[in-house]
Chains A and B, each alone.
Chain A
Amino acid sequence: MEIIILLIFISLAIAIAFLVAFVWNMRSGQYDDTYGPSVRMLFEDKKKEKADIKTSKK
């Protein structure tokens, strides 16, 4: 049964790592704007292509 003590320490350590990661994410502003990123990922990334067309026209 002694092994359970080790297991509990391991599981706590992992859980604490997740907690720390969450707090860190939040403080760095990841959850500040929940709407923007959800639409931003849908924008097609044509920036470079279009810029090329523009310069080639000139």
Chain B
Amino acid sequence: MRGTIKDVSPFIDIKCYHCGLPCEDNVITLGGNSFCCSGCKTVYEILSENNLCEYYELDKAPGVSLRHVSEESYGYLDEPQVRKKVLAFASYSFNRVQFSVPSIHCISCIWLLENLQRLNEGLIKSEVNFSRKQVTIDFNPSKVSLGAVARLLASLGYAPSITLEGQETIRPINHSLITKLAIAGFCFGNIMLLSFPEYLGVDETDHRLKLFFSYLNLFLVLPVILYSARDYFIAAWKSYKLKQINIDVPIAVGLAALFLRSGYDILSHSGPGYLDSLSGLVFFLLIGRWFQSKTYDSLSFDRDYKSYFPLTINKRIKEEWKPILVYDLQKGDVIRVRNMEIIPADCYIHSAEAFIDYSFVSGESKPVYATIGDFIYGGGRLLGKPVEFIVEKKISQSHLTSLWNNEVFHKTEESRYRKIIDKAAQKFTWAVMGLSAITASYWWLVAPSQMWLVVTSVLMVACPCALALAAPFTFGNMLRVFGRNGFYLKNADVIERLAAINSVVFDKTGTVTHGASEIKFTGHLTNEELGWVKTLANSSTHPFSQLVSKSISTESLAPIINFSEIPSKGVEGVIANHLIRLGSPFFTGFDGEQNSKSKVFVSIDGLVRGHFSIETSVRSGMQVLISKLSSKIPMYLLSGDHGLEEERMKNIFPSNTKMYFNQTPLEKLHFISNLQYNGFRVMMVGDGLNDSGALKQSDVGIAVADDTAVFTPASDGILKGEQLQNLNQFIKLSKYAIIILKVAFGISFMYNLIALGFAVSGHLSPLTAAILMPISSVSVVGFSTLAVNWVSRNQLNKKN
């Protein structure tokens, strides 16, 4: 089967049958369906040959675009030591592997990936975990190799992302919180049921029955206090040792008081105890924890430089190229890097010349030209033909990775902040201790025998359950609202830091501007001539030529004669008897202004016909965001790029914005820590590996990603590119979250005061406690949930 290529006007909106993206340059039709690229067509062919076209029926245009995928051989997966690391289980005739496949996104994906055995006989079974975007494949290693399995996935557009560390630590799901919650809920329900007879007033003659219920309750509460509530006691003990008071201390004291007092009451036959309140409290507290623990499993917030580097590289061993792990590279090794691959270590160019795209490392958007003997920093991306390099430094000592030796990457993040809840808890604890002391001394004077009973009741009702619930529900709800709007936070604590932000630092490349370049043609060329230019540009591997070629949609079938490429000048060739030149002004004979660093001139038969200008385009929404932010928060712009675009940036940002160009990743980091030293709370918005240090150092580091399936550096939050303009709203919402939290604190204090009134006067019956505690928790939870939803609906609708 062969597809035909035909010319289409770009105005007709044809969507690819496979991936659903608009077909830009040319449309390939096959079997009545249109495809945007040969990659998509190939997948369709594979599927239709194997009767797997049901794939297209389950969901409309379900495929993954293969336009920007660089081919990878996965040959390294067949090396014994790599295989051992990647496989989950291995025996002679049965292997199991778990791949993380970021491009899983719809029903069709699940269907296709679970029918893989119809494509290859060696596969036994495959199963998709949709929420974690993983696929587990069982296969027979004597029929198909691991590398071939990975290649099969990649050929269908489901390239597995493989990192050796990631593979070892595919995070086991933590079930312990749910288990604790389930046990607490179970015991709470049963204890409540068994306590009812007491409250409803069982006949005094049934004293034995009452005792039986009490003992049963005491037995049921043991798993709650020993297992479910364990974390609170451990956390309280830790904070006591650190001489810091956090919210866990009064909770643990309250729980202990409830348990001891109830145990005493039951064993001394003086009352039924407060066990239903105790288990209910633990149950509500755990619900709060569970609510706050929402995670975006398929996103990664902790990637370091290792995830960016290729896993293996071709190394020359005795005239043969063999894939070896990049971490095993030694000084003096000769390696070969292919087009679009990342150069893993600092090295010298050994053969030919190369264009290196450092945008990843430095933010510099224009590819750098380098020739034999030039020193290349690791992390650059090679454009063009394969090039050989001699390794100069091991990967762990290279220029780029030295950033990770900085101390910010080694200290725990949370310790820098004192959370609002802990500040409140501290005041609260002192107040409760003072109150208990006063009550104790009063009762000691009035009725010493009652003193302990009253003091324990004070400690019991002071247990700040509702207080502890306010933060998880407010922040947890906000986290969900953000997630629905394309802003994914690492955890709920980030919201609190986000609210305190008072300066914003932007990275230029990839954040303010798109990483990709935009080509504009100024001048006049006919359609036919445009086709010639495309043919000529296509023959050159220079990145500018590639960009020019991609920007032209008309094809020409005329052959090219006498093609030659003159380094740092341009390319020329004869097409249809016309001499066409593409390159620098001097080369093409242009005699106008010479400031033309990012322009490619075209001449036909010696006559200059115009130029292509290469620009990075500003993200849509950036202008809106900046105008919204400009009146409120000081902004800064950091760029690894040279100052060429300074003028353009000045048009976008307000005049008082400070801009810094030619910043190394380390300088960016220092810039942030300087701001912090001057008392600012800094939000860093960046995207690349080059911003990693700054993102980590900042109070809130936000990575901007157009496709959340691709790599993002370690950060506190991931923001979808198209949501960038709403960043202002997100900051505002987090400020509202703090206000809501404070009101919720107020409500919970109110209940505590009412309960304390009962306790201090010695009137706290088990029934009062059993009614007051759930009511306070439920009202705080209800208030914060409703308030967050109301505020966020108001705020996010206002923008439209």
Instruction: Determine whether the beta carbon of A4 is less than 8 Å from that of B209.
Output: yes
B204 to nearest A CB, angstroms?
A: 13
Chain B CB within 8 A of A34 CB: yes
Instruction: Determine whether the beta carbon of B118 is less than 8 Å from that of A47.
Output: yes
A37 to nearest B CB, angstroms?
A: 9
- What is the CA–CA distance of A35 and B129 in the complex, to the nearest angstrom? 8
Instruction: Determine whether the beta carbon of B131 is less than 8 Å from that of A32.
Output: yes
Instruction: Determine whether the beta carbon of A19 is less than 8 Å from that of B175.
Output: no
Instruction: Determine whether the beta carbon of B182 is less than 8 Å from that of A22.
Output: yes
Chain B CB within 8 A of A53 CB: yes
Are A5 and B186 CB-contacts (below 8 A) given A27-B175, A47-B115? no
Instruction: Determine whether the beta carbon of B118 is less than 8 Å from that of A50.
Output: yes
Instruction: Determine whether the beta carbon of A34 is less than 8 Å from that of B173.
Output: no
**Quick one: CB contact mask for B108-151 with A, threshold 8 Å, 1 for yes?**
00110011001000000000111110000000000000000000
Instruction: Determine whether the beta carbon of A36 is less than 8 Å from that of B129.
Output: yes
Chain A CB within 8 A of B579 CB: no
Contacts of B173 in A (CB 8 A): 29, 32
- What is the CA–CA distance of A56 and B194 in the complex, to the nearest angstrom? 68
A contact face: mostly helix, strand, loop, or mixed: helix
- What is the CA–CA distance of A50 and B58 in the complex, to the nearest angstrom? 18
Instruction: Determine whether the beta carbon of A15 is less than 8 Å from that of B209.
Output: no
Size of the chain A interface, CB-CB below 8 angstroms: 28
Instruction: Determine whether the beta carbon of A23 is less than 8 Å from that of B115.
Output: no
Contacts of A15 in B (CB 8 A): 186, 190
Instruction: Determine whether the beta carbon of A1 is less than 8 Å from that of B186.
Output: no
Contacts of A19 in B (CB 8 A): 182-183, 186
A 1-58 contacts with B by CB, 8 A:
1, 4-5, 8, 12, 15-16, 19, 22-23, 26-27, 29, 32-36, 39-40, 43-44, 46-47, 50-51, 53-54
Instruction: Determine whether the beta carbon of B209 is less than 8 Å from that of A34.
Output: no
Contacts of A29 in B (CB 8 A): 173
Contacts of B175 in A (CB 8 A): 26-27
Instruction: Determine whether the beta carbon of A33 is less than 8 Å from that of B130.
Output: yes
- What is the CA–CA distance of A12 and B264 in the complex, to the nearest angstrom? 25
Instruction: Determine whether the beta carbon of B131 is less than 8 Å from that of A34.
Output: yes
Instruction: Determine whether the beta carbon of B182 is less than 8 Å from that of A33.
Output: no
Closest to A28 in B: B175
B 667-698 contacts with A by CB, 8 A:
none
Known: A33-B131, A43-B111. 9 other contacts (CB 8 A): A5-B209, A22-B182, A23-B182, A27-B179, A36-B110, A47-B118, A50-B51, A50-B118, A53-B51
* Residues of chain B whose beta carbon lies under 8 Å from any beta carbon of chain A: 50-51, 54, 58, 107, 110-111, 114-115, 118, 128-132, 173, 175, 178-179, 182-183, 186, 190, 194, 206, 209, 212, 216
* Residues of chain A whose beta carbon lies under 8 Å from any beta carbon of chain B: 1, 4-5, 8, 12, 15-16, 19, 22-23, 26-27, 29, 32-36, 39-40, 43-44, 46-47, 50-51, 53-54
**What are 10 pairs between A and B in contact, CB < 8 Å?**
A15-B190, A16-B186, A19-B183, A26-B178, A29-B173, A33-B129, A36-B110, A36-B131, A39-B110, A39-B111
Nearest 4 interchain pairs by C-beta:
A36-B130, A35-B130, A33-B129, A39-B107
